[in-house]
């Protein structure tokens, strides 16, 4: 008897999602649950993480929740080891932990730089660094990282450290895809534009600014977190088994028209 496996699903596979308490991470966790995955959610915000975990379990998901500061490699290592012990070998990873702070370069304090680069770039590096050897041992896997259209089109100077951190994520991901591909590990990057999350703050944009934003995005609106989540799920499925080292803009067509000016 031939057993059919839906290449567009993640049935029975373990997926780790950092930055899963809200925004892109929470939306992707929900999409993974809907796709049949066992999901491990990591975040430093315990209360919000618990709320998200409860919602995922109400949807029928097998979910393990761990409070983790991704800038702390020891915490990441303990969390990853715990997930392997409870949910089994890790197949997929979505590195969604991220932060954006604005401020002119001359006003930067070292703590400002350390926080933005620490969470966005070092956090991604730490998670990847702990799961890659385990994926090699278990026969492969798929990692999806989050960069930003700001990595290639930084726009205003208030985004320069954020843009640098996301550019680092992009380069880290592509280099790792080359190195680890021979072990059956695929690494791809999503590059979102304006997505309606707490971090972008689109909901609080003045009416004039929101109208201007809608006009310059070819699809006529900012994206929703779910519209990033499902491409992430796709990249973790067998349907994407020959995609690696790629960068995929998820921006409603904005990059094709030359980008969008990021407002202060």
Top-confidence residue, 179 or 194: 179
Tokens of 76: 């990441």
Per-residue model confidence as pLDDT tens digits over 120-165: 999 999 999 999 999 999 999 999 999 998 888 766 545 788 889 9
pLDDT at 70: 98
Contact 188, 228 (CB under 8 A): no
Average pLDDT over residues 52-57: 97
Contact 95, 25 (CB under 8 A): no
pLDDT at 3: 43
pLDDT at 261: 59
Catalytically active residues, by annotation? 162
pLDDT at 223: 92
Fold of 14-250: Rossmann fold (3.40.50)
pLDDT at 92: 98
Burial of residue 214 (number of CB atoms within 10 Å: 0-12, 13-18, 19+) = middle
Look at the block and give the residue holding tokens 């791809």: 188
Name residues whose C-beta falls within 8 Å of residue 216's C-beta, 6 or more positions apart in sequence. 254, 257, 260, 261
Q: Measuring CA to CA, how many Å separate 4 from each of 7, 12, 15, 140, 141?
A: 9, 14, 21, 21, 20
pLDDT at 150: 84
Name residues whose C-beta falls within 8 Å of residue 49's C-beta, 6 or more positions apart in sequence. 20, 21, 41, 43, 65, 67
pLDDT at 88: 98
- Whether pTM > 0.85 for this model: the answer is yes
Least confidently predicted of 18-27, 47-56, 128-137, 146-155: 146-155
Per-residue model confidence as pLDDT tens digits over 226-254: 999 999 999 999 999 999 999 999 999 98
Alpha-carbon 181 to chain mean position: 20
Top-confidence residue, 210 or 166: 166
Average pLDDT over residues 27-56: 97
């Amino acid at each position: 008897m031939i057993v059919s496996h839906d290449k567009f699903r993640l049935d029975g596979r373990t997926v780790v999602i950092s930055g899963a308490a809200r925004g892109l991470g929470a939306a992707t966790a929900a999409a993974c649950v809907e796709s049949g995955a066992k999901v491990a959610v990591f975040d430093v915000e315990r209360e919000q993480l618990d709320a998200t975990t409860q919602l995922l379990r109400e949807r029928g998901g097998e979910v393990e929740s761990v409070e983790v500061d991704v800038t702390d490699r020891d915490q990441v290592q303990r969390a990853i080891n715990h997930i392997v012990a409870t949910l089994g070998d890790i197949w997929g990873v979505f590195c969604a932990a991220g932060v954006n702070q604005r401020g002119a370069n001359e006003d930067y304090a070292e703590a400002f730089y350390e926080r933005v680069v620490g969470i966005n770039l070092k956090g991604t590096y730490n998670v990847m660094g702990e799961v890659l050897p385990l994926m090699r041992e278990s026969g492969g896997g798929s990692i999806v990282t989050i960069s930003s259209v700001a990595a290639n089109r930084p726009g205003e100077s208030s985004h320069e450290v954020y843009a640098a951190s996301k550019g680092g994520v992009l380069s880290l991901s592509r280099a790792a895809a080359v190195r680890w591909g021979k072990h059956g590990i695929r690494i791809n990057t999503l590059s979102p534009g304006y997505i309606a999350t707490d971090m972008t703050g689109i909901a609080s944009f003045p009416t004039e600014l929101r109208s201007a934003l809608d006009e310059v995005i070819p699809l006529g609106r900012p994206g929703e977190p779910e519209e990033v989540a499902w491409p992430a799920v796709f990249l973790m499925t067998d349907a994407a088994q020959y995609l690696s080292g790629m960068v995929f803009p998820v921006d409603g067509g904005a990059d094709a028209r030359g980008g969008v000016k990021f407002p202060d």
